[in-house]
Structure 1
Amino acid sequence: MTEQSHRPRTGAVVVFYHPDAACVERVNRLASVMHCVVIDNTPAMPSGRPLVLSSEIEYLPNGENVGIARALNQGVEALLRRGAESAILFDQDSEPPSELLTELPSLIAAANASGDRVALIGPAYEDKRLGGVAPFVRFRPWKLERIAPEGSELIDVDFLITSGSCINLKYWSTIGPMDDALFIDFVDLEWCVRAKRAGFRVLGAPWIRLAHELGSEPVRVLGRIYPMHSPLRHYYLFRNAIALIRRPYLPFSWKSTELMKLPIRIVIYSLFPSERMKHLKMAIRGLSDGWRGKLGPLA
């Protein structure tokens, strides 16, 4: 590996939304390792002083929730202004291991040095509530191909979750920013689809693990565990699924699996959580808005 591969210019983007003290402690530790940009989507948060953030952190408060996509775009643009070559993206509750912070940027730099067109590399994520380490995924008609995160070789995948993933900023302008009209949910998937359509690779690093909790407390239905979200998140989930199904550049293989999942999700999210009717109403509203192409934040 070249010296550049060992010492790439990289930074982290962390999105805050009503962070607690543990979130602040995590981002302060992260800032001691690399330059860190915090985008705060917490409403009415005018400055970083109440958070007791490290002076090393570049803190950008929005004063409102502008969505995960726009916040990530803001953080990436801040790193680009500093000349970064790669950006590691995090949710506020992610606790990255040290090897993630060093190896992912080095893998991106090595790909650039060899001419390999890699857009994104990410770890396998582990949510103990959902049964441990999640498999990597490739789209196949009517059913996802799940790939066990094993071995020491990078794995070509069709998408990675945002948190813990390392973006190759060399190709950021070619692929384009995250779609902020989606606001939240499927933002990572839509970006990965565009990256792959443009001829870039999306790779999973199975030997690197990130502890990450997906949603709130999950529910078990017929032996399977499903992540649970708030009624508002379910609105965005159903809305964006329909909106993306209607877009011609999303692959049929993904659309077919989503069409299979939608009725199952409606049943689960309307029968098992508390406030069942609220979940159902928000899901139906999301389906309607997605069909009509009504995107952005829910007014």
Structure 2
Amino acid sequence: MTARPAAPGLAAGIVLFHPEPDALAQTLAALAPGVDALYLFLNAPADEALRACLRRPLPAPVILLNDGRNLGLGTAYNRMAAAARAAGHATLLLLDQDSAPPPGMPAHLQAMHRRLRAAGECPAVIGPHPVAAEGSATKTPRLFLRHGSAPVDGARPLEFLISSGSLLDLAAFEAIGGFRDDFFIDAVDIEWCFRAWARHFSCWMVSGLAMPHRLGQGLVRVPLIGLQLARQPCFRLYTYARNQTAMLRLEHVPLRWKLKLFPYIALQAAIHCMIRRDTAALRAFARGIADGLARRMGPVRHRFVG
């Protein structure tokens, strides 16, 4: 796939948290020819290596947002969407530093956005097919097809997409509402996509457009049942359990998702405890469930080891 000229009204936004400068430079080089502007949200202070990376000339302007405080993914996405909307952009391509978008991806997603609208759909978000980055030994994100919805012109309807690589329709975003700031990290994309479907918008993946992505810090394989889990630090196990539990109270989250939640969390807790050979993961899951039920949300206030 070759790079195409920038599509009108298309911006990209990347959330940065101590990124690898070389990997970021490759991402910026792949994106810049196909977008009108690049928003970079600093969820950690920019060191000299990052600043040197950002001084390299690019065909699209780079706009830095935030002062380096970690405000979480939900806030970062919302602020980039607001900035892009205020600047007159119609769509915003969200990315984080764990993805490697192929050249031409922005225009490809923008073209699919137009085709879906021409077909009578109301797409809120369109994304590529995320695959495990070569040599990363990380998990490929799991896909959940939307029940009762049919593919359209090479795009498949999904229950939700991972946020990285997602092309947001900013008018739809305004109608649906922003990402949950209080989720901080984990499941912000899942909850938002369920909300989009409940408000008569739709979420799509372009099957033939692969995007390498690194999920977690490695892969946990459970051979007897064929399960693969992303290896995560305990604070991420906590936010996963907390935010998924908090979604139990939300009317727009499908019942089928709620019914499988606690058995799946219990299975993950048991597997992580066996892999780690301690109870730190179990305590993280238990605290996450308790805080989710009590609606204690926001930035992580607990200290976790491992």
TM-score by length of 2: 0.84
SS in 2 for 1:205: strand
Percent identity between the two aligned chains: 27
Correspondences of 1:35-50 after superposition (within 5 Å): 35-42=37-44, 44-45=45-46, 50=51
CA distance change for structure 1 residues 139 and 294 in 2, over 3 Å: closer, same or farther? farther
CA distance change for structure 1 residues 28 and 45 in 2, over 3 Å: closer, same or farther? same
1:245 and 1:255 in contact (8 A); partners too: yes
Is the aligned partner of 1:13 residue 2:13?
yes
The 2-side partners of 1:289 and 1:194 are apart by 22
Correspondence for 2:94: 89
The 1-side partners of 2:238 and 2:142 are apart by 26
Aligned residue identity for 1:13: G
Q: Which runs of 5+ in 2 are unaligned?
A: 1-5, 302-306
Is the aligned partner of 1:283 residue 2:288?
no
SS in 2 for 1:138: coil
The 2-side partners of 1:50 and 1:165 are apart by 26
Correspondence for 2:304: none
Correspondences of 1:47-126 after superposition (within 5 Å): 50-54=51-55, 56-112=61-117, 115-126=120-131
The 2-side partners of 1:282 and 1:153 are apart by 40
Moved more, 175-184 or 30-39: 30-39
1:125 and 1:209 in contact (8 A); partners too: yes
The 1-side partners of 2:50 and 2:222 are apart by 44
The 2-side partners of 1:192 and 1:293 are apart by 21
Count of residues in Structure 1 that have an aligned counterpart in Structure 2: 284
Aligned residue identity for 2:189: D
Moved more, 182-191 or 218-227: 218-227
Aligned residue identity for 2:216: G
Q: Which runs of 5+ in 1 are unaligned?
A: 1-5
The 2-side partners of 1:233 and 1:288 are apart by 15
Give CA deviations for 1:98-122 in whole Å, capped at 9, x if unaligned.
2422110122234445653111111
TM-score by length of 1: 0.86
Correspondence for 2:143: 136
The 1-side partners of 2:291 and 2:115 are apart by 43
Aligned residue identity for 1:243: A
Q: Specify which of 247, 262, 266 is matched with residue 269 of structure 2.
A: 266
Correspondence for 1:3: none
Q: Specify which of 232, 241, 246 is matched with residue 243 of structure 1.
A: 246
Aligned residue identity for 1:125: P
Aligned residue identity for 2:268: R
RMSD: 2.6
